Amino acid sequence: MATRTLLLLVSMVGVVHPHYFPYTRTDTGDSVDIASMKLLKETYNAAEEKNVVASPLGVLILLSLYGSGTEGENREELVRYLRIRDFRELELRYARLSYRFGSMDHSFLTLCNKVLVSDKYKLEQHFLNTARSYLSEVDNINFEDPQTAADSINEWSARKTDGKISKPVSASDIDARAAVALLNVIYFQGHWHVPFNASNTKEQEFHVDRSTSELKPMMHLEQPLIYRDSPELGARLVELPYKESQFRMIIILPKEIDGLQSVLDKVAQKGLLEDVFKMNFANTEVILDLPKFEIRSKLNLNELLPKVGVSRIFNEPAPGLVSDTKLIVSRALQQAFITVDEEGASAGAFTGVVGVPVSADSRPPPPIHFKADHPFLFAILHDDVVLFAGTYSH
């Protein structure tokens, strides 16, 4: 029977508003970390607009779900990128991640998967079982009416993201021959555990490159924070914890104004977690200046995934998604949104306390100045799993 196409859609949004928990590093976190950083590097390199944000986890979840309907080299390509040798173990890990994040309080995190099946086809039982293990909704749809199909997808995305991403697709994105669409939404609304005071936000110089600067509203905070100076990355890292348990944002600031590309190259090879898990409370106050920013990105995964080694899904038919038909991916995209501002819990204090031995005549060490006044990388993690990652360049 003739090959049909598969539409793969990822739609997500992360909204960020600003204790100390012990974090655990796992093999799953490591595999998500490196795959995420590889995708972020290619996203940055391909973007004309160097302010980018993505949810690599949303992409990885759908790739692993799609992989359950593949075989041979098609599947091996996904396994290599996702960095787990045994495919059954890969399915189990991403099913656990879907359950872990899909079961959280929707007041701050929503993760949802959905499988839309053409009313002309029936899902293979194994793929259906896998989709259900990922907590995926499964519904029928008529792809031959692209406008109605797009409206249905947009309504689902808008409902899951509180209207932040209301039109991720248009009728032109829908292939009328499609048999299946895989959808994912990740939506985060966090609150800083140590809030910024909006009255301290001031216009300051931000160095776009060595010869160009712009005035940007910079938030200001003075607190003992978790920090690291990484000679390996050529960057300094600071952690901003959220009130929501185990969530944190990591800011990775290159030591050089034009050092972001070098840092991206390094984390694409070794990931972020090695440095993140070497972070400790600074034994002094950190004086942090961080821009307020908002970023919206639309990623063309048809172009990006081949750059990280995943190309066969677009041209090698997969036999195990629907009965009696092999599928290829015709369209893969992601739309992402993030806002970083001062908002956060008006009450509450930083619960990590650092005790520094002192003698009667000793003086406290000088504060650490962490001024994010040139292009940097950021990531939002839950424990050791990267949920969102991006770059701010201007």
Task: Give the tens place of pLDDT for each residue, 31-50.
Answer: 999 999 999 999 999 998 89
Task: Give the tens place of pLDDT for each residue, 48-88.
Answer: 889 998 888 988 988 898 888 888 888 889 989 988 877 88
Range in 40-44, 168-172, 264-268 with the lowest mean pLDDT: 168-172
How far, in Å, CA of 37 to CA of 117, rounded? 31
How far, in Å, CA of 349 to CA of 173, rounded? 47
DSSP state letters, 252-278:
EEESSTT-HHHHHHHHHHH-SHHHHTT
Domain segments of the chain as ranges: 4-190+294-339, 198-291+365-392
- Strand (E) or helix (H) holding 164: none
Task: Give the tens place of pLDDT for each residue, 330-375.
Answer: 888 888 888 888 873 222 122 212 222 333 445 667 899 999 999 9
Q: Is the CATH number of domain 4-190+294-339 3.40.50.720?
A: no
Would you state the pLDDT for residue 363? 63
CATH assignment of 198-291+365-392, among 3.40.50.10170, 2.30.39.10, 2.60.120.380, 3.40.630.10: 2.30.39.10
Residue 27 neighbours by CB under 8 Å, 6+ apart: 84
- 236-241 mean pLDDT: 94
SS3 24: coil
